[in-house]
Amino acid sequence: MVKFRFQSIAPCLALMLFVAGAASQVKIANKPQPKPNFANSLQAVVVVSDDWDNTTATAYLFERKNAKSEWRQNGISFPVLLGRSGLAWAELLNGDIDMTKIKMEGDGNSPAGLFPLTSVFGTGTKPSGVQMPYTKLDQYTECVDDPNSSFYNRIANRMQVGNFDWKSSEKMAAIVPEYDLGVVVGSNTYPVEKGRGSCIFLHVWKDAGTATSGCTAMERSNIERVVTWLSPAKIPYLVQMPKKVYDSRRKAWKLPKLY
């Protein structure tokens, strides 16, 4: 009779689990993709305020059939809230632009400029009709606002990241109702620059009178309208700045005409 010798599989199993876990962890932040060209955009969320320091603004949705056609407004405009300090340029643009107010981390300004809208997030399952990439928030989802982190200005899942190199972040699932539904704004993304601002979103407002820390907030029904309207194939953009600046640059930048 052949005698079989049994050995514990626990060490092997532990090793397999360790390797699998290590493989699933993100050791470094992904490199950003090239910034989409606004000239190719077919959808634009346009936000204009009365002045740089205003915390209230008006949003419009525009779309066009192709890059050579005229922009057409989609539905009615609606009110939004900006950062507690108003607006500040988040892009170092060329030309004769007054760059005296520059967006920096923690300054309470919403970014002014032209920014791709990249994805949607929320605390629930992906809403019906949403075409954009969707992230369901959980207790480990964090937006990193530590300028010294390699994950600065990125949304990361703490359970999937190998190097916890940040000391400050937004625990997104805990920020309600604001982050119940939102859109990621590609501000300070192409590329990410240390200290130039982070975690910029379109999202639900806390109430109609409370400014944000730098995001653009709106009533729940309006963010629902936005997220179901956006299409990744149409390269959606946020165009955000004071109205006087918008009007002065509209033709040169081929922006939608406001009525």
Give the model confidence (pLDDT) of 42-67 as tens digits: 999 999 999 999 999 999 999 999 99
Share of the chain above pLDDT 70, in %: 85
Domain CATH for 79: 2.40.440.10
**pLDDT of amino acid 99:** 72
Confidence bin at 95 (pLDDT 50/70/90): low
**CB burial of residue 183 (10 Å; 0-12, 13-18, 19+):** buried
**pLDDT of amino acid 94:** 56
**pLDDT of amino acid 12:** 38
Q: Mean pLDDT throughout 220-247?
A: 98
**pLDDT of amino acid 31:** 65
**pLDDT of amino acid 91:** 80
Q: How many domains does one find in the chain?
A: 1
Confidence bin at 34 (pLDDT 50/70/90): very high
Confidence bin at 32 (pLDDT 50/70/90): low
Task: Flag whether 19 is in a domain.
Answer: no
Residue, of 158 and 10, whose pLDDT is higher: 158
* Six-digit token string for 102: 């520059």
Average pLDDT of every residue of the chain: 89
Q: Mean pLDDT throughout 26-54?
A: 87
**pLDDT of amino acid 33:** 78
Identify which of 188, 61, 213 has the alpha carbon closest to the alpha carbon of residue 118. Answer: 188
Q: Is pLDDT at 177 greater than 80 in this prediction?
A: yes
Would you mind telling me the total number of residues written for the chain in this entry?
259
How far, in Å, CA of 115 to CA of 164, rounded? 28
Residue, of 96 and 90, whose pLDDT is higher: 90
**Half-sphere exposure (Cβ direction) of 250: Cα atoms closer than 13 Å:** 14
Cα dihedral 203, 204, 206, 211 sign: positive
Q: Which of 18-32, 64-78, 199-213 has the lowest mean pLDDT?
A: 18-32
How far, in Å, CA of 90 to CA of 101, rounded? 9
Q: Is pLDDT at 179 greater than 90 in this prediction?
A: yes
Task: Flag whether 75 is in a domain.
Answer: yes
Residue, of 23 and 139, whose pLDDT is higher: 139
Burial 14-36 (b: 16+ CB within 10 A, else e): eeeeeeeeeeeeeeebeeeeeeb
135 DSSP assignment: E
How far, in Å, CA of 182 to CA of 159, rounded? 22
**pLDDT of amino acid 135:** 98
Q: Which pTM value belongs to this model?
A: 0.87
Q: Mean pLDDT throughout 89-118?
A: 87
Task: Flag whether 25 is in a domain.
Answer: no
**pLDDT of amino acid 16:** 36
**pLDDT of amino acid 164:** 87
Residue, of 18 and 253, whose pLDDT is higher: 253
Kind and range of the H or E run holding 87? strand 86-89
Identify which of 180, 190, 187 has the alpha carbon closest to the alpha carbon of residue 238. Answer: 187
Full domain range(s) for residue 207: 42-253
* Whole-number Cα distances in Å, 190 to 24, 43, 91, 113, 243: 26, 20, 10, 13, 25
Task: Flag whether 29 is in a domain.
Answer: no
